Amino acid sequence: MKSHRPLRLVIGCDTDPDRLDFGGIAFDRGTQPQTWAGLDRIPDLRSALDTIRDARGRAPAVTWFLRCDEQIRVTEGSYGAVLVRFSDLWKHLSDAGDEIGWHPHFWRLAKDGSTWFHEVDDEDFQTRMLEESFAAFEADLGFAPTSVRMGWDYHNNRSMQTLARLGVHIDLSALPFQSFAGSYNDRGASFAGCFDWSTSGSLPYRPSRLDYRIPAVSDEISIMELPQNLLQSSFSAFLSEARGAVRDRSPRRLIRALGPNRIVASTTVKACSPPFLFRSMVRDVLRREEDWIATYFHPDELLARKGSLINDLIHRLSYFSTNVRSVVRIAERHGRPVEFVTATEAADLLAHE
C-alpha cells in the first residue's frame, strides 16, 4: 500500500566564494579578497526554479547559508562583509520565499599570515568566533540566523551547544555514518577538513548534549539536526576521485579512480549533480520510506565555465531544475506528494512530529 505522507525537500546553498578548481583563487592561502562570480548565476537559478511547483503550488525554496566568520572578517574587511555587499541579492531572495541562513567556517590564519588552517583544536577560538560572527550577522541584516550548515561539515559537542545557545533552530551538517580524518594539500595549506558523523544515521534528531552525533535520550539540546542525503555508488566515488586527481595533479588518484580495485563509497549527491545520480538517491530515500531529502550546492557550481572539464561534467545549472523535477515525478509515482520547505520550516515541522 502506498504511503501518502509528504516527502519534503530542503535545498541549501553553501554560499562560499569561487573555489580554485572553479576558476577562483586559492582561498586557503594569504589574506587577499575572494572572487564571487558564482553569485551572478543565482538569479538565473531562481528563475528556473520558479517554473516548478510542489503539491501545494509552491516553487522550490532555497536556504542560502551565508559566510560570516573569521576568514571573511580578515579577507573582506568585516564579519558581515558578504551580507552587506550583496544585501540587495539576499533581500530579493528572501522576498521570493527563500531563507537566509549561516555558513560559518573555522578557518584560522597562521601566525605568519600566509596560510589558513581548519581550527579543530582550540574550542575557545571556535566559540568566540561563532558568538562574534552571529552578533555581526544580526547587526548587519537586522535578524539572527535560525539555520546553519557548518563549513567542512565539522562539529563537536561545544560548537553544537553554542549554536543552540545562540538560538539556532536547525543544523544541516551531518553526513550519515561518515568520518574523515583530514588531510593536507599541495598548495601549502595546512588545513584538516575533518569531520566525524560516524555514529549518525539518516533520520532527523535532536542531538545529545554528551554526543552531538546521536539522538538524545534525556539530555537533548534545543536544536534539530537534519542529515544530508548520500548515495553509495562506485561511479560517484569515481567522480570524486577524478576531480581530486585533477585538482591535486595526482596521477595516483586518477589510477585509483580507474583501476580494478576502485572504491564504492557513499557520496553526497548535490542539487546540481548528474541527474541519474540524483534520481538514484531519491529512489533510495523512498525505498527506505523516509520523509526528508536534504541536499545542497555551491554557487560556483552554477558557472557556465569552470576550472576543468570534470567539474563541468559533475555540476551544471541545467541539472538543477531537472533534479528538482525528478523528485516530484518519482515521489508522485510512489504516492508521495512533495513539499518544498526551507531549513527553519523543516525545524518547525520536525518539532511537531
Q: What is the pLDDT of residue 20?
A: 80
Task: Give the angle subtended at the CA of 285 by the CAs of 171 and 51, to the nearest 5°.
Answer: 80
Query: Is residue 195, in this structure, part of any structural domain at all?
Result: yes
Query: Is residue 178, in this structure, part of any structural domain at all?
Result: yes
3-state secondary structure of 277: helix
Q: What confidence tens digit (pLDDT) does each residue in 11-51 have?
A: 999 999 998 878 888 766 678 899 999 999 999 999 999 99
Count CB neighbours of 335 within 10 A: 12
Q: What is the pLDDT of residue 172?
A: 98
Query: Is residue 1, in this structure, part of any structural domain at all?
Result: no
Query: Long-range contact list for 288-293, CB < 8 A, 24+ apart?
Result: 288/202, 289/3, 290/202, 290/203, 291/5, 291/6, 291/7, 291/8, 292/7, 292/8, 292/10, 292/203, 292/204, 292/226, 292/346, 293/7, 293/8, 293/9, 293/10, 293/229, 293/327
Domain count of the chain? 2
Q: What is the pLDDT of residue 219?
A: 87
Q: What is the pLDDT of residue 261?
A: 46
Q: What is the pLDDT of residue 112?
A: 82
Q: What is the pLDDT of residue 14?
A: 98
The set of cell numbers assigned to 313 is 561534467
* Statement to judge: residues 177 and 247 lie in one domain: no
DSSP state of 110: -
* Statement to judge: residues 111 and 35 lie in one domain: yes
Q: What is the pLDDT of residue 94?
A: 97
Q: What is the pLDDT of residue 341?
A: 98
Query: Is residue 156, in this structure, part of any structural domain at all?
Result: yes
* Statement to judge: residues 118 and 141 lie in one domain: yes
The domain containing residue 190 runs over which residues?
7-229+270-283+290-351
Query: Is residue 2, in this structure, part of any structural domain at all?
Result: no
* Statement to judge: residues 152 and 132 lie in one domain: yes
* Statement to judge: residues 310 and 331 lie in one domain: yes
Query: Is residue 111, in this structure, part of any structural domain at all?
Result: yes
* Statement to judge: residues 308 and 275 lie in one domain: yes
The set of cell numbers assigned to 7 is 516527502
The set of cell numbers assigned to 209 is 548534549
* Statement to judge: residues 225 and 239 lie in one domain: no
Q: What is the pLDDT of residue 265?
A: 53
* Statement to judge: residues 237 and 297 lie in one domain: no
Q: What is the pLDDT of residue 307?
A: 59
3-state secondary structure of 126: helix
* Statement to judge: residues 263 and 279 lie in one domain: no
* Statement to judge: residues 123 and 107 lie in one domain: yes
Query: Is residue 315, in this structure, part of any structural domain at all?
Result: yes
Burial class of 142 by CB neighbour count within 10 A (0 to 12, 13 to 18, 19+):
exposed
Q: What is the pLDDT of residue 185?
A: 55
Q: What is the pLDDT of residue 264?
A: 41
The series of mean pLDDT values per 10 residues for the chain, 353 residues long, is 84 94 76 92 95 98 98 96 98 97 94 84 97 98 98 97 98 93 58 84 96 93 95 58 58 56 63 91 95 96 70 76 97 97 98 91
* Statement to judge: residues 248 and 183 lie in one domain: no
* Statement to judge: residues 192 and 130 lie in one domain: yes
The set of cell numbers assigned to 143 is 535578524
Q: What is the pLDDT of residue 53?
A: 98
- Measure the CA–CA gap between 309 and 9, rounded to whole angstroms: 29
Query: Is residue 67, in this structure, part of any structural domain at all?
Result: yes
